[in-house]
Chain A
Amino acid sequence: MDDSKLFVFLLCLFAQFCISFSASDQVNSFQSVPDLEKSMYMAIDGYPCVRLLNLSGEIGCSNPGRANIVAPVTRFKTANKLAEPSALLVSIDQFEDLFARLSDDADFSRHVVGVLVESGSQLPNGLKGFSPDKKFPQAEFAPYQSGKFEWNPTGSGLMWRAYNFPVFLLSNSSTLALQEIALRNEKREKSYTVDVADFDLVMQTTKSGTRDSETCLREQTCLPLGGYSVWSALPPIVVSSSKKVKPMILTVASMDAASFFRDKSVGADSPISGLISLLAVVDALSRVDGLGDLDKQLVFAVFTGEAWGYLGSRRFLLELDQHSDAVSGLDLALIETVLEIGSVGKGFAQDDKTFFAHSTKESATNGTLSALKDALGSLKTKSIKISRASKSNPGLPPSSLMSFLKKNPETSGVVLEDFDATFTNKFYHSHLDDLSANINSSAIVAAASVVARSLYILASDKKEINNSVLNTININASLVKELLGCLLSCEPGLSCELVNRYIAPSASCPSHYVGVVLGEPSSQPYPGNVGDVPRFLWNFLADKTAIPSKNTSSACPKGCSGNGEMCVKAETDGKGVCVISSTRYVPAYSTRLKYESETWEVLPHNSSDTMGAADPVWTESNWDTIRLRVYTVQDTRFDSWILLLGVTVTVLSYIIIVISKAFITKALKRD
Chain B
Amino acid sequence: MTVGAGIGYALLALGPSLSLFISVISKKPFLILTLLSSTLVWLMSLIVMSALWRAFLPLKTAAWWPYTILILTSVGFQEGLRILFWKVYKKLEDILDAFADRVSKPRLFMTDKMQIALAGGLGHGVAHAVFFCLGLLTPAFGPATYYVEKCSKIPFFLVSAIIALAFSTIHTFSMVIAFSGYEEGNKVDKCFAPVVHLIAAMLQGRIQNRNCRDWLTFHFLIPQAVPDPPKETLTNLAFGGCMIGIPLLYCVAIVTLVHCGKMAWRRLIESRSREGNLSNSQ
Contact = CB atoms under 8 A, between A and B. Distances in A.
A70 B144 CA distance: 11
B97 interface: no
A46 B164 CA distance: 40
Interface in B191-239: 192, 195-196, 198-199, 202-203, 206, 209-215, 217-218, 221-222, 224-225, 234-238
B16 A643 contact: no
A33 B138 contact: yes
A239 interface: no
B10 interface: yes
A22 B236 contact: yes
A547 B150 CA distance: 70
Interface string B109-135: 101100000000000000000000001
A317 B212 CA distance: 70
A642 B6 CA distance: 9
A631 B144 contact: yes
A664 interface: yes
Given A21-B237, A36-B136, A27 B145 contact: no
B183 to A, nearest CB: 16
Interface string B50-80: 0000000000001010011000000000000
Contact of B218 (A32, A634, A671): A32
Given A27-B211, A30-B214, A40 B23 contact: no
Interface stretch (B41-49, B85-93, B251-259): B251-259
A36 B155 CA distance: 13
A645 B12 contact: yes
Contact of A650 (B15, B210, B238): B15
B199 A649 contact: no
B96 interface: no
B8 A646 contact: yes
A639 B2 contact: yes
Interface string A1-38: 10011011001100100111111111111111100110
Nearest to A641: B8
B29 interface: no
A650 B19 CA distance: 6
Counting chain A residues whose Cβ lies within 8 A of the other chain, the interface size class is 35 or more
A639 B22 contact: no
A41 B144 contact: yes
Contacts of A238: none
B147 A632 contact: yes
A70 to B, nearest CB: 7
Contact of A657 (B23, B111, B155): B23
Contacts of B9: 642, 646
B211 A32 contact: no
Nearest to A21: B237
Contacts of B1: 634, 639, 642
B214 A643 contact: no
A658 B217 CA distance: 42
A22 B67 contact: yes
Contacts of A21: 235, 237-238
Interface in A619-671: 631-634, 636, 638-640, 642-647, 649-651, 653-654, 657-658, 661, 664, 667-668, 670-671
B98 interface: no
Given A25-B211, A646-B12, A19 B64 contact: yes
Given A32-B218, A649-B11, A649-B16, A26 B235 contact: no
B158 interface: yes
A387 interface: no
B165 interface: yes
A601 B11 CA distance: 59
Contacts of B221: 31
Contact of B143 (A27, A631, A653, A654): A631
Interface of A: 1, 4-5, 7-8, 11-12, 15, 18-33, 36-37, 39-41, 70, 193, 198, 631-634, 636, 638-640, 642-647, 649-651, 653-654, 657-658, 661, 664, 667-668, 670-671
Given A15-B203, A634-B155, 20 more contacts: A8-B195, A19-B202, A19-B234, A21-B237, A21-B238, A22-B235, A24-B211, A24-B212, A24-B236, A25-B211, A27-B150, A36-B136, A40-B139, A631-B145, A639-B5, A649-B16, A650-B16, A657-B23, A664-B268, A671-B111
Can you list the 10 inter-chain pairs with the closest CB atoms, starting with the nearest?
A650-B15, A646-B11, A631-B144, A642-B8, A654-B19, A653-B16, A29-B214, A643-B8, A646-B8, A22-B64
